[in-house]
C-alpha cells in the first residue's frame, strides 16, 4: 500500500524538492495552506487537508489540522486491530510521514519592535499538536521537523520503501526536543514581560535548552560523571564551536580551563597569547606575532605553564608551534592552525589542538575580532541558580580617572589597561603586575588581597623577573593602604583599581606619599 505524507511547513526550504522526490517514490501528498499552494504551483499532485477533513481552514488559518481525520491517521497503532477498525468505521486513512516545522516564534520575538500581538500570532498550535501525535506513534509514523532530515528519510525510503525503526525513533526524539525548545522560548518570552510592556532580562520562569556535545570520561574528579553541552544557538567564536584537529578526548577540566584561556585571549585585538592553569591566567602577553606573544607569556611563570592550556587570537604558524612543542601542553587553541604548524605536532599525538574561527570586523578603521560572548553567566547553588548579566565591560582610556598628583605616562596608561584586562580573568582576589604588554606576576584566588599581592611578587621572583617600573591592577579596591604598599615595595610605579572604598583618600594619600600614579576604573571585576 502506498504511503501517505502530510506536509505543512512554515520554513519552506527544500520542501519542493523533497515533495517531488516523495511523489517519485509513489508517496501520496497531503498538505495545508501555503505549502499546498506552493506544491500545486510546482505541478505536484497534492490533496489539501480540507478535502480530507471536510472542514475548510478557518479563523485566519488558526484551525486547519485540529481534526480526528488528521490526528486519528497519525495516532492509530497499526498493530492494534481495534485502532484499525476504528479508522475504517470512521473513514480515516493512515498518515505515515509527517513533515512539519513551526511558526517562527523565536525569530519573531528576536526582531526589534516585536509586539505582544506579533508574538502571540506566531505561536503555533496545530503544528506542535501534529508533531506530538506523530512522535508519540513513532513505531508507525516518521516525523520530520527539520529540513536537514530530508536526505536521511529519502535515502531510507529509496533503499527500503520505509523508514527504519532506529530512524523513526531518532526523528521522534528530535521532534519532542523541538517542541520542548519551542515551548521554552514561548514561556521565556511571556514570563519576561512586565506591566509596562518591557521585557525583563530575568523571566519569571527560566527554561534553558542545551544540546549535548559529548559524554566525558569523568568530571572534575574521577568519581564524578560529566557531559559537555552547548547553547541551542551558540555565539560564533565561542568554545563550543571549536573543531578538534588532533589529540586525546577533552576532559572536564580541559574544557573549563580552555574556556578561561579562550575568553581572555579574545579580549585583545593585537596578537596575544594566554596560558592558563587551573582556570587562572599564569601568563599573558602581546607581541608582533604569535611567537613573540607566546615567548613573553611563558616568561611570566614557566613552572605553572607546564601542562597548561595555551590560546592564541591569531592563526598558529610553524614558528610559534616550534616553540610551543618544546613544553608539555594539554590544549592548544587558535582561530586557525596552518598545515605546517599541525605537522610540528604530528609527533605529539596526545596534544589537543582546537581551531575556533573568529570573525573579523572593522573597528576604528582596522580589523578586529567579533567576540562571541555570553549574555548571561549562571552558577549552580543548592537547588537553584544564580543568574547574572555577563561581565562584558571593556574599559577605555576615557573611563580612567587619575586620582594622584603624579600623572601616568602614555606607556603606563597602556600597561594599566593591559593589566586591567588580564585581571578581569583572574580569580579574586586578583593582583596582576604588567609591563610592556606582558604579565610579570599574577596573584590569584586568595582570601586576602595582601596575600595575592605577595604571591604575585613571589611568582615574579621565581621567574627571574624584575618588577621595577611595573603597572599593577587590582580587581577590587584596596580597603587599606597596606596592599598598595606591598605592590609599590615590589617595584610598581602605577596602579589601577576600581575605587569606592571608605578609605579611598587614605590609599590615594599613600600613593602620593610613595610617588606612584593611581587611576580609578570605577568598575569592579570580581571573579569567584
Active site residues: 136, 278
Task: Indicate left, alpha or beta for 342 from its phi (over 0: left) and psi (-120 to 50: alpha).
Answer: alpha
Contact 157, 97 (CB under 8 A): no
Residue 140 C-alpha cell reads as 508507525
Question: Can you point out the beta strands (E) in 351-411?
Answer: 352-355, 359-363, 366-370, 376-381, 384-389, 401-402
Positions of E strands within 139-231: 142-144, 210-216, 226-231
Beta strands at 4-9 and 97-101: parallel, antiparallel or unpaired: parallel
Distance CA 498, CA 420 (A): 10
Using an 8 Å Cβ cutoff, are 129 and 118 in contact? no
Q: Do residues 295 and 316 make contact, with C-beta atoms less than 8 angstroms apart? A: no
Omega within 30 of 0 (cis) for the link into 429: yes
Q: Cβ neighbours of residue 409 under 8 Å, at least 6 residues apart?
A: none
Strands 329-334 and 308-312: parallel
Q: Under 8 Å CB-to-CB from 452, ≥6 apart: which residues?
A: 429, 430, 431, 443, 444, 445, 446
Residues 20 and 425: their CA atoms lie apart, in Å, by 55
The H-or-E segment that residue 473 falls in is: strand 470-474
Cell digits for 242? Answer: 571549536
Q: Residues 433, 411: contact at Cβ < 8 Å?
A: no
Angstrom CA distances, 463 to 283, 297, 516, stand at 11, 11, 25
CA 79, 85, 86: angle at the middle one, nearest 5?
Answer: 105
Amino acid at each position: 500500500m502506498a504511503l501517505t505524507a502530510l506536509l505543512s511547513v512554515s520554513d519552506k526550504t527544500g520542501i519542493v524538492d523533497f515533495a517531488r522526490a516523495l511523489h517519485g517514490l509513489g508517496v501520496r501528498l497531503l498538505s495545508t495552506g501555503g505549502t499546498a499552494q506552493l506544491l500545486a504551483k510546482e505541478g505536484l499532485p497534492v490533496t489539501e487537508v480540507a478535502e480530507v477533513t471536510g472542514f475548510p481552514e478557518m479563523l485566519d488559518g488558526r484551525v486547519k489540522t485540529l481534526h480526528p481525520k488528521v490526528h486519528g491517521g497519525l495516532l492509530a497503532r497499526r498493530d492494534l486491530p481495534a485502532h484499525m477498525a476504528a479508522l475504517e468505521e470512521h473513514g480515516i486513512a493512515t498518515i505515515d510521514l509527517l513533515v512539519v516545522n513551526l511558526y517562527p516564534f523565536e525569530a519573531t520575538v528576536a526582531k526589534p519592535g516585536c509586539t505582544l500581538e506579533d508574538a502571540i500570532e506566531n505561536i503555533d498550535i496545530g503544528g506542535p499538536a501534529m508533531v506530538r501525535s506523530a512522535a508519540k506513534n513513532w513505531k508507525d509514523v516518521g516525523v520530520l521537523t527539520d529540513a536537514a532530515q530530508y536526505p536521511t528519510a529519502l535515502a531510507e525510503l529509496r533503499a527500503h520503501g520505509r523508514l527504519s525503526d532506529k530512524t523513526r525513533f531518532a526523528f521522534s526524539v528530535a521532534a519532542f526536543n523541538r517542541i520542548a525548545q519551542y515551548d521554552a522560548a514561548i514561556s521565556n518570552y511571556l514570563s519576561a514581560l512586565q506591566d509596562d510592556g518591557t521585557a525583563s532580562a530575568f523571566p519569571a520562569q527560566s527554561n534553558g535548552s542545551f544540546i549535548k556535545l559529548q559524554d566525558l570520561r569523568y568530571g572534575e574528579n574521577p568519581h564524578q560523571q560529566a557531559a559537555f553541552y552547548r547553547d541551542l544557538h551558540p555565539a560564533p567564536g565561542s568554545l563550543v564551536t571549536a573543531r578538534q584537529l588532533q589529540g586525546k578526548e577533552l576532559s572536564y577540566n580541559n574544557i573549563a580551563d580552555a574556556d578561561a584561556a579562550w575568553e581572555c585571549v579574545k579580549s585583545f585585538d593585537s596578537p596575544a597569547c594566554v596560558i592558563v592553569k587551573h582556570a587562572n591566567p599564569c601568563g599573558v602577553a602581546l607581541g608582533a606575532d604569535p611567537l613573540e606573544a607566546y615567548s613573553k607569556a611563558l616568561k611570566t611563570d614557566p613552572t605553572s605553564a607546564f601542562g597548561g592550556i595555551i590560546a592564541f587570537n591569531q592563526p598558529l604558524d610553524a614558528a610559534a608551534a616550534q616553540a610551543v612543542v618544546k613544553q608539555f601542553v594539554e590544549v592548544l587553541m587558535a582561530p586557525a592552525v596552518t598545515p605546517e604548524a599541525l605537522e610540528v605536532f604530528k609527533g605529539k599525538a596526545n596534544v589537543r589542538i582546537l581551531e575556533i574561527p573568529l570573525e573579523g570586523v572593522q573597528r576604528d578603521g582596522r580589523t578586529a575580532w567579533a567576540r562571541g560572548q555570553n549574555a548571561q553567566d549562571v552558577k549552580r547553588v543548592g537547588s537553584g541558580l544564580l543568574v547574572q548579566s555577563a561581565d562584558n565591560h571593556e574599559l577605555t582610556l576615557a573611563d580612567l580617572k587619575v586620582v594622584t598628583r603624579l600623572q601616568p605616562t602614555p606607556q603606563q596608561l597602556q600597561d594599566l589597561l593591559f593589566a586591567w584586562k588580564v585581571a578581569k580573568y583572574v580569580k579574586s582576589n586578583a593582583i596582576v603586575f604588567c609591563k610592556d604588554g606582558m604579565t610579570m606576576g599574577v596573584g590569584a584566588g586568595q582570601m586576602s588581597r595582601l596575600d595575592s599581592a605577595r604571591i604575585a611578587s613571589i611568582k615574579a621572583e621565581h621567574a627571574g623577573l624584575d618588577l621595577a617600573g611595573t603597572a599593577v591592577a587590582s580587581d577590587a579596591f584596596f580597603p587599606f593602604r597596606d596592599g598598595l604598599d606591598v605592590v609599590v615595595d615590589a617595584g610598581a610605579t602605577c596602579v589601577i583599581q576600581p575605587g569606592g572604598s571608605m578609605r579611598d583618600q587614605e590609599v590615594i594619600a599613600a600613593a602620593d606619599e610613595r610617588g606612584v600614579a593611581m587611576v580609578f576604573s570605577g568598575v569592579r571585576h570580581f571573579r569567584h
